[in-house]
Amino acid sequence: MINKLQAITGASNVLTGADVGRYSHDFTHSYNWTPLAVVRPGSTTEVAEIVKLANETGTPVVPVSGNTGLAGGAQAEGAIMVSLERMNRIREIRPNARLAIVEAGAILSDIRSAVEDHGLVFPLTFGAQGSAMIGGNLATNAGGSNVLRYGNTRDLTLGIEVVLPDGSVMDLMSELHKDNSGYNLKHLMIGSEGTLGIITGAVLKLMPKPRAYATAMVAAPSLDGALTLLNRLQEATGGAVEAFEFMPRSYVEQHLKVVKGSREPFDAPHDVNILVEVGATSPRDTEPGPDGRTPVSSHLETVLEELFTHGDVLDAVVAQNEAQRREMWARREAAAEVTLSRPPVQNNDIAVPLDKVATFLERADAMLTRIDPGAQPMVVSHLGDGNVHYAIWPKTQDPDTMNRLMEGVEGIVLELGGSFSAEHGIGTTKLPSMARRKNKVAMAAMRAIKAALDPNGIMNPGKVLPKD
């Protein structure tokens, strides 16, 4: 098998033994495995040949991009890991059509930097963008901080190229905004976590890059009050709010402990701390006035002052320059570092309707106290789209207690009409949740699709779909 893989990609691109060390665990070191080999193809043709060989021999295949996932989706014990790191080209940027054609191994931050030179932005963004690759973003339908304005990865993709489990290549590299020719196979593949094929290329939507940002830390009297703030800002800016991120007091305190040189967001502590960012593209909103301030920033201050007068805002600090803006974002983007600072961690990535976030947190905290007294929640939230990262620092590591905590979170989420998985995917971590909570008819349909496309079960086995 190793010799055949080497014949496809060249010996230097088939790693075994000690050379697979950095591919043998996730970035949190919560999951560890030993792959048969790590293969680094340089083209879609090579990916197809690898998968065809694996299918013929019944060898499991696990694709890996930046390996920044949090749900164990890249575990690959005894499998061929297909790393797309060499397939990292940005093939084309077409400013007038506002699209970019990229290979799956292109790093997210590299894509963003490349299109910025054309006055455009690929708006997908999150803390791991410096190592996460677009193929992994597509495989998990990644979210991030700008979903409020631009949507998830699925919403930002026009077309994809996919190697199917038999080694055939499905060319869906459409550049069209409208295509009603049958089933939407693009959307089926995006978010399938490598269980139905390996995404090797994509056509991405680009947006006008904001000429100016208005960014602020805002203290709200409550989460319900924060929604009043969000809705008022959306009305005042014509829907230009790009980020609306919630950090409770407990998160701020842990951030101060963990991140050297970090500072309080306000002079006095507050329970509900919101990072707000508005992006403006029109010259009338972005040309600095005589005082050096941009109209969008001045407008944000005016709206916040009005809300402060009515008691909907308790305090606010508007960034006066790029350094202050970056400091505000650094506080939010340190979420992984803050959350993982006290292992072990049970990481729950849930979504509920916006007006039920406060109810979820109230019920979840009560459940936590009841099941594991002394356990602590560590919360950060994309509040603008209802996505809550409800991590738990348990008092005990008893497996039964840990499972009861996860079941407790699931139960509250579903009672509120939410989802136990918002943006991190299922991987292996959430297989028990899928078995307990996913609609049985939907599960049967997914299994039928998997069986039809991957009858030999080689593509990322043991992920997404729990055993019967």
Residues spanned by CATH 3.30.70.2190 within the chain? 212-335
Tens of pLDDT, residue by residue over 332-346, are 999 999 999 999 999
Position 37 pLDDT exceeds 90: yes
pLDDT over 90, % of the chain: 94
Position 453 pLDDT exceeds 90: yes
Tens of pLDDT, residue by residue over 125-174, are 988 899 999 999 999 999 999 999 999 999 999 999 999 999 999 999 99
Structure tokens at 234: 């959306």
Tens of pLDDT, residue by residue over 383-442, are 999 999 999 999 988 999 999 999 999 999 999 999 999 999 999 999 999 999 999 999
Position 28 pLDDT exceeds 90: no
Tens of pLDDT, residue by residue over 238-249, are 999 999 999 999
Mean pLDDT over each residue of the chain, to the nearest integer: 96
What was the pLDDT predicted at 127? 85
What was the pLDDT predicted at 468? 79
Tens of pLDDT, residue by residue over 178-217, are 999 999 999 999 999 999 999 999 999 999 999 999 999 9
What was the pLDDT predicted at 141? 96
Domain over 2-83 is classified CATH 3.30.43.10: yes
Which residues share a beta bridge with 390? 348, 379
Query: Could you tell me the pLDDT band of residue 330, with boundaries at 50, 70 and 90?
Result: very high
Residues spanned by CATH 3.30.43.10 within the chain? 2-83
**The domain at 342-431 falls in which architecture?**
2-Layer Sandwich (3.30)
Domain over 212-335 is classified CATH 3.30.70.2190: yes
Q: Mean pLDDT, to the nearest integer, of 263-283?
A: 96
Position 321 pLDDT exceeds 90: yes
Distance separating alpha carbons of residues 99 and 122, to the nearest angstrom: 9
Residues spanned by CATH 3.30.70.2740 within the chain? 342-431
Residues spanned by CATH 3.30.465.10 within the chain? 90-208
What was the pLDDT predicted at 34? 96
Q: Mean pLDDT, to the nearest integer, of 6-11?
A: 98
Q: Please give, one letter per residue, the 3-state secondary structure of the chain.
A: CHHHHHHHHCHHHEECHHHHHHHCECCCCCCECCCCEEECCCCHHHHHHHHHHHHHHCCCEEEECCCCCCCCCCCCCCCEEEECCCCCCEEEEECCCCEEEEECCCEHHHHHHHHHCCCEECCCCCCCCCCCEHHHHHHHCCCCCCHHHHCCHHHHEEEEEEECCCCCEEEECCCCCCCCCCCCHHHHHCCCCCCCCEEEEEEEECEECCCEEEEEEEEECCHHHHHHHHHHHHHHHCCCEEEEEEEEHHHHHHHHHHCCCCCCCCCCCCCEEEEEEEEECCHHHHCCCCCCCCHHHHHHHHHHHHHHHCCCCCEEEECCCHHHHHHHHHHHHCHHHHHCCCCCCEEEEEECCHHHHHHHHHHHHHHHHHHCCCCEEEEEEEHHHCEEEEEEECCCCCHHHHHHHHHHHHHHHHHCCCECCCCCCCCCCCHHHHHHHCCHHHHHHHHHHHHHHCCCCCECCCCCCCCC
Q: Which CATH number fits domain 90-208: 2.60.40.2700, 3.30.465.10, 3.30.300.180, 3.20.20.100?
A: 3.30.465.10
